[in-house]
A = this chain, B = another copy of it.
Amino acid sequence: MNNFTYHVYTDVRFGKDQINTLPELMAPLGKKVLLVYGGGSIKRNGIYDKIQKLLSGCEIYELSGIEPNPKIESVRAGAALCKEHGIEAVLAVGGGSVIDASKVIAAGANYDGDAWDLVVDNKKIGKVLPIVAILTLAATGSEMNKNAVISNMTTNEKLGTSSHYFKPAAAICDPTYLFTLPANQTAAGTADIMSHVFEQYFQKTETAYLTDRFAESILKTCIKYCPVALKQPDNYEARANLMWASTQALNSLISAGKGGGWTCHPIEHELSAFYDITHGVGLAIVTPRWMRYILSDATVEKFAEYARNVWDCKEEDNWKAANYGIDATEEFFRDCGIPMKLSEVGIDESKFVAMAEDAVKFGGLQYAYVALDKQDVVEILKMSL
């Protein structure tokens, strides 16, 4: 087991009506609040009005229209608002995109240069305004972690940045907010959760036994409850388990004692950067192909363990078990209604080389479970067509 730091200080309020704790959570942070949200669903479902009522003693400024793959232009606009109005805290209401954007906005508020600098080089991140997140999508885990991913369509770059101070001071996770999610977002969000687990589970460190069992627990939860949520969007048990799974999948619980680079996320980031597709869909498409591509004598035991512990595969032969698990993964995503070919989401092979180059350049693929070079990535993308 590798050495690690585990420091997850976010005050999570989980469950029905937890939004009522918002005044108590915001009080120590400040009165001047920037409310950040997306396309306006929070106005239709009542969260917006509820916030206005609960924070009637605060001075609230607003930034709406955060995109599904949040753009640097939105971040710049948010940072400018913070500077103009002396904002003291950022209230992010939405999924990972809104929370990610809010993190860089909260850092940009205290940075004199262009906010894109903070994405390209996280050493430039200084003081960060405190962030409170109200989660409306179970996917990225941004509500309890240090990560943010921002897109720059001008340069075809979708890059991750991080800071210990990006971790939200508090997060309100009410599973009922997921009841109105469209099926495709439920499915793509689940694919994102599962991909976070895969990226950390399939690593070279084999001695982090407890961490791997935690990882499998999250995968089993996704497999059990995504189909339930798709059939019964207002099933509280399903939504609650998926929401908690999303938070725990990327708050450093399942990286504890493990280590190494990621694979499918860096590859998917290029798909989104070039084509602006849904992150979770890109991950679902790439993941089983990546698994097949790296399956070898060196990795077969881990994939067999995955099949047995997560998919209850009874197969004793490691190769058969491993393939069973990979097939099950692909079928699961397909059964959740996710388009499982790049060609189905309008992507052909014309930019595969350029995307592979950037994935290798920005993605640290040399540190992954199985190191990949440009040609490997092109092959995986071809398998995904």
Binding site for B on A (CB under 8 A): 1-18, 175, 207-211, 213-214, 216-218, 220-221, 224-225, 236-237, 240-241, 244-245, 248, 253, 256-257
Contacts and interface: CB of A to CB of B under 8 A. Distances in A.
A42 B224 CA distance: 47
A127 to B, nearest CB: 16
A14 B214 contact: no
Count of identical protomers in the assembly: 2
A250 to B, nearest CB: 14
A3 B207 CA distance: 34
A210 B214 CA distance: 9
B237 A1 contact: yes
A188 B314 CA distance: 35
28 contacts: A1-B175, A1-B241, A2-B15, A3-B15, A3-B16, A3-B18, A4-B14, A4-B15, A5-B11, A5-B12, A5-B13, A6-B14, A7-B9, A9-B9, A207-B240, A209-B224, A209-B237, A210-B217, A210-B218, A210-B221, A210-B241, A210-B244, A210-B245, A213-B221, A214-B214, A214-B217, A216-B217, A244-B257
A213 B217 contact: yes
A359 B256 CA distance: 38
B209 A213 contact: no
Q: Most chain-B Cβ atoms within 10 A of its Cβ — which of A6, A18, A224, A253?
A: A6
Given A5-B14, A214-B217, A209 B225 contact: yes
Given A4-B14, A213-B220, 18 more contacts: A1-B175, A1-B241, A5-B13, A6-B14, A7-B11, A9-B9, A207-B236, A207-B240, A207-B241, A208-B241, A209-B225, A210-B217, A210-B245, A213-B217, A213-B221, A214-B214, A217-B217, A244-B257
